[in-house]
Structure 1
Amino acid sequence: MELFLLSNGKLSSDSEPLDYAHEQIKGLLKSRNITSAVLIPYALIRSDYDARAVELEHALGIKVGSIHHAGVPAIAIEQAQCILVSGGNSWMLNQMLHEKDLIVPIQRAVRERGIPYIGWSAGCNVATPSIRTTNDMPVRNAVVLPALGLFPVQINPHYTDVQVSGHMGETRDDRLTEFCMVNTSESVIALREGSMLHISGNDLRYYSAKGEGFKVFHYGHETKEYVDTRALSGLVPFNCL
């Protein structure tokens, strides 16, 4: 299984998509002789699907086609060399994956055929068991359906612990702590901007373009920051490097 789970899509507004992960992603594409990818853009609300595909083509140097052009989306996944899942709104994305009957085809493609999955922001959220730790608003009246479950632990992308002066609402730490208080057997991995988890076979690696760590939230345990994925031993069934 090959997963790239990125907190966000780019380091700055004027940089290329997936810029901070280019070395790792392009290395994989070259080693697998991957020349094309299917983009799942359903999370996008304020952006154009085809424009995002063109951006990714230029950034990655491969052909990228948006799945919304496919007559039968499941067949597009069956024929895909690589799956790209864009950021945006996680609620919209997860509901569309169910409505388009793509949950099982993606699971089979990734787990059984080893098709690489590259997801950022919302695309990272839906790779976990559920989208309950998303930062997004439920813009559609959808129940909290199960997500893809490719990665066994909840993730909170775009994590920040910056204290905003004058803000009287709950912090991100407050919200994630509340999640763990209600769901005492579950953990949440908080990924800062410019960071990602890379799962390749049985190996789990963490990378941060800014040299920052990730946090792990779990009920009854002190929340700490780590840079070594060995901190996740016991949470994920992978050999951590």
Structure 2
Amino acid sequence: MELFLLSNGKLADDAPLLGYAQPQLHAMIAQRGIRSAVLVPYAIIRGDHQQRADELSTSLGIEVRCVQDFATPVAAIEQAELILVSGGNTWLLNQMLHESGLIVAIQRAVRERNVPYIGWSAGCNVATPSIRTTNDMPVRSSVVLPALGLFPVQINPHYLDAHASGHMGETRDERLAEFCAVNPDESVIALREGSFLHVHENQLCYFSVRGEDFKLFRHGRPIQACRDTAALQPLVPFRCD
């Protein structure tokens, strides 16, 4: 199984989409001889799906087609050499994955056919067991359905531990600690911008283009700042560097 779980898509408005992860993504594409990819753009609410596909074609150097360009969404995934799941609104994305029959289709493609999965922001969230640690608003009145469960631990993308002056609400740390208090058997990996997790051949690696840490939240334990995946060893079935 090969997963790229990215906190975000860009580091700046004028930066290429997935640009900060291009060395690793290009190496994987070249090693596998991938010529095309299927984009699942359901999370995008106000943007243009085809424009996003075109951006990815330029960034990755391969043909990228939207899932709706195929006869059915399931047929698109069954033919995919590479699956891309865009950022946007996680609630809408997860609901559309269920309504389109893509939960099982993507699980089978990744687990049985070893099709690589690249998800950023919302696309990262839905790769975990559930979307309960998303930052997004539930824009539809939908229940919290299970997500893809490709990665066994909850992730909080776009993690920021800054406390804005004058803000009297809970910080991100407090919200994630609340999640762990309500769900004491679950943990949360908080990924900063410009960072991602890579699962390859049963091995888990962490990358940060800025050399920053990620945070690990567990009930009854101090928040742990980590720069490698060793702390995740008890939580994931993959070898850690």
TM range (shorter): over 0.9
**Residue in 1 that maps onto 2:178:** 178
Counting only pairs closer than 5 Å after superposition, residues 157-236 of structure 1 correspond to structure 2 as 157-236=157-236
d(CA) in 2 for partners of 1:63, 1:198: 22
Per the TM alignment, residue 15 of structure 1 is displaced from its structure 2 partner at its CA by: 0.3
Counting only pairs closer than 5 Å after superposition, residues 1-241 of structure 1 correspond to structure 2 as 1-241=1-241
Q: Is the partner of 1:39 in helix, strand or coil? A: strand
* Letter paired with 2:60: L
d(CA) in 1 for partners of 2:161, 2:146: 27
Moved over 2 A (4+): none
Per the TM alignment, residue 224 of structure 1 is displaced from its structure 2 partner at its CA by: 1.4
d(CA) in 1 for partners of 2:46, 2:68: 16
Percent identical residues:
66
d(CA) in 2 for partners of 1:239, 1:59: 30
For this pair of structures, how many residues does the alignment match?
241
* Letter paired with 1:157: P
* Letter paired with 1:36: S
d(CA) in 2 for partners of 1:68, 1:138: 23
d(CA) in 1 for partners of 2:47, 2:225: 34
Per the TM alignment, residue 113 of structure 1 is displaced from its structure 2 partner at its CA by: 0.6
Q: TM-score, normalised by structure 2?
A: 0.99
d(CA) in 1 for partners of 2:190, 2:146: 20
Structure 1: segments with no counterpart, 5+ residues: none
* Letter paired with 1:119: G
* Letter paired with 1:129: P
- Per-residue CA distance 1:37-66 (angstroms, 9 max, x = gap): 000000001101000000000111000000
Structure 2: segments with no counterpart, 5+ residues: none
Per the TM alignment, residue 10 of structure 1 is displaced from its structure 2 partner at its CA by: 0.9
d(CA) in 1 for partners of 2:143, 2:137: 13
- Per-residue CA distance 1:149-201 (angstroms, 9 max, x = gap): 00000000000001100000010001000000000000000000000000001
* Letter paired with 1:221: R
Per the TM alignment, residue 71 of structure 1 is displaced from its structure 2 partner at its CA by: 2.0
Q: Is the partner of 1:119 in helix, strand or coil? A: strand
